[in-house]
Structure 1
Amino acid sequence: MTQFDFIKMHGLGNDFVIIDARTGGGDLDNATVRAVADRKTGIGCDQLIVMEPARMIEAAFFMRIRNADGSEVDACGNAARCVADRIMKETGETVIKFQTGAGLLTAHRSDNGITVDMGPAQDQWSDIPLASPTDTLHLPIKEGPLSDPSAVGIGNPHMVFFVKDAQAVPLADGLGSKLENHDLYPERTNVEAVEVRSRNNLRVRVWERGVGITQACGTGACAALVAAHRRGFTGRSAKVELDGGVLSIDWRKDNHVLMAGPVATSFTGNWTD
């Protein structure tokens, strides 16, 4: 029998089941993760997050990220903001550091909610990673109405397309899944359809690997801004409007990407199967 307490949180509708396993537990098999994430028969979530004991002296905890399909990934920006908010409320601190598979992250409470430093953006093919040496600014990929994407790494891989109307792109009609599994991305990829509305405003829709269409994706918003600036479409800061709301993204000159926005707690509960 599997049993655990959880808290359900979200960042702009990108929702998470969070388990506090800092004192033990939290080791779930893929079938259990899929059962928890199921929106009809489980709790329902985009990702399941497990807070584990820290592996670095500087970190308050380690954040393990499981996608709805059970797969494990290294980065999730909105989940990072949610768990940071939870621990700040627990400790009374306004700045914390914690570890993910992508490295050490720093988060702080700000006027815009919770701001997290996602670390340096990656634009080298081997770091993202891609399967072979490729110009990451212009990938030789065309699928349906989409073509000429950029590749960006934000602790996880992204394929960023620029389009006239983000809402009109049929990501949910098989297009997102096909691009997620493109041969150029050995670890699969997140896919963004980005509409440039101004030098400081982007409209973005995201297909997340291992999940599908989500209301918001923090690393996707970061990747969209990085790719847009590299293409000359925006400055280094922008408001990024996702299906679930707006994130503020700032790509600093030291290459670190900062993301800010609101988080919310939905409910708490106990899972037993």
Structure 2
Amino acid sequence: MALRFSKMHGIGNDFVVIDGRQRPFALDPAQIRAIADRHAGVGFDQLLSVEPPRDPGCAFYYGIWNADGSPSGQCGNGVRCVAAWLHRAGALAIGDTVRIESPSGPVTVRLLGPHEVTVDMGEPVFEPARVPFRAEAQADRYAIEADGDALEIGAVSMGNPHAVVEVADLAAPSLARLGPALTAHARFPQGANTGFVQKLDRARLRLRVHERGSGWTLACGTGACAAMAVLHRRGEVDDRVQVELPGGRLRIDWAGPGHTLWMTGPAAFVFEGEWLDPPSAH
């Protein structure tokens, strides 16, 4: 049987979305990698499955898999695409606010329009053990060595682990090797999404992200949240920040500890399709 899918993207971070509401999702990592292949497959940064909720307090569940077949705990651009997909499927109306279950827990989404979604991403987690990140004590900045360079990073979880490095120049050649080095650093036992952030002013940031399991991406929603959260905790940015990524812009709102962080941005459909020679299911 052909595997039907939707191809979507959130400011360039692209997805294959599969409807698992009636038919259980049953693809293994090798099958996911085959679909992710940008030459012989469909191509994506992450694959998303929309399924019945495990949590009775949520309307739906969405699974997340990276291009290398590994699972992910959260995907900010992905959840916006899930909300837009549910709207197109007739399951979510413009103006609705619903809780959707991710692998790392529930998130609240509000559909502002057919292609515009705001998401309650929860409160950023800075405790090293919960990121997880190996450190003797919690701090705003951590000294770390990566590929022979001495760096200073912030470490935070947005449902997945992030290393945030503030830089003066996003075009610096060294970032090409430091991104993968930090993503696979031993102090992040589950790996990390590595964000290099350039502060333009207190309300504008520029960001490049190397994602664990997917590599360099045009956009990373949780990466934008992480960058804003780390700089906000240091007192460097305001409560509302625009984050410019290679694929587009996101708005991040966070009032600080005790408050949840909101991400607002677009979700776009590219095409609907069928994988005509799908890998066999379990």
TM bracket (short chain): over 0.9
Cα distance in 2 between the residues matched to 1:101 and 1:203: 28
1:149 alignment counterpart? 153
Give 1:257's aligned amino acid. Answer: L
Give the SS at the match of 1:165. Answer: coil
Answer yes or no: is 1:139 the counterpart of 2:138.
no
Answer yes or no: is 1:56 the counterpart of 2:58.
no
**Equivalent residue in structure 2 for 1:208, among 192, 208, 211:** 211
2:167 alignment counterpart? 163
Distance verdict in 2 for CA 1:146–1:220, change over 3 Å: farther
Give 2:219's aligned amino acid. Answer: A
Shift of 1:71: 0.4
Distance verdict in 2 for CA 1:239–1:33, change over 3 Å: same
Shift of 1:137: 1.5
Shift of 1:97: 1.4
Equivalent residues of 2:83, 2:92 under 8 A apart: no
Cα distance in 2 between the residues matched to 1:64 and 1:146: 36
Give 2:109's aligned amino acid. Answer: A
Q: Which of 125-134 and 148-157 deviates more?
A: 125-134
Give the SS at the match of 1:104. Answer: strand
Equivalent residues of 2:126, 2:138 under 8 A apart: no
Shift of 1:102: 1.3
Equivalent residues of 1:167, 1:205 under 8 A apart: no
Distance verdict in 2 for CA 1:146–1:257, change over 3 Å: farther
Cα distance in 2 between the residues matched to 1:96 and 1:87: 11
Equivalent residues of 2:143, 2:150 under 8 A apart: no
Instruction: Structure 1: state its 5+ residue gaps.
Output: none
Moved over 4 A (4+): none
1:267 alignment counterpart? 271
Equivalent residues of 1:169, 1:193 under 8 A apart: no
Shift of 1:236: 2.0
Cα distance in 2 between the residues matched to 1:56 and 1:262: 27
Give 1:158's aligned amino acid. Answer: H
Q: TM-score, normalised by structure 2?
A: 0.91
Equivalent residues of 1:163, 1:193 under 8 A apart: yes
Cα distance in 2 between the residues matched to 1:136 and 1:6: 43
Answer yes or no: is 1:122 the counterpart of 2:106.
no
**Equivalent residue in structure 1 for 2:234, among 231, 235, 248:** 231
Q: TM-score, normalised by structure 1?
A: 0.94
Give CA deviations for 1:216-269 in whole Å, capped at 9, x if unaligned. 000000000001111221112200000001000011343311100111000011
Q: Which of 65-74 and 253-262 deviates more?
A: 253-262
2:91 alignment counterpart? 91
Instruction: Structure 2: state its 5+ residue gaps.
Output: none
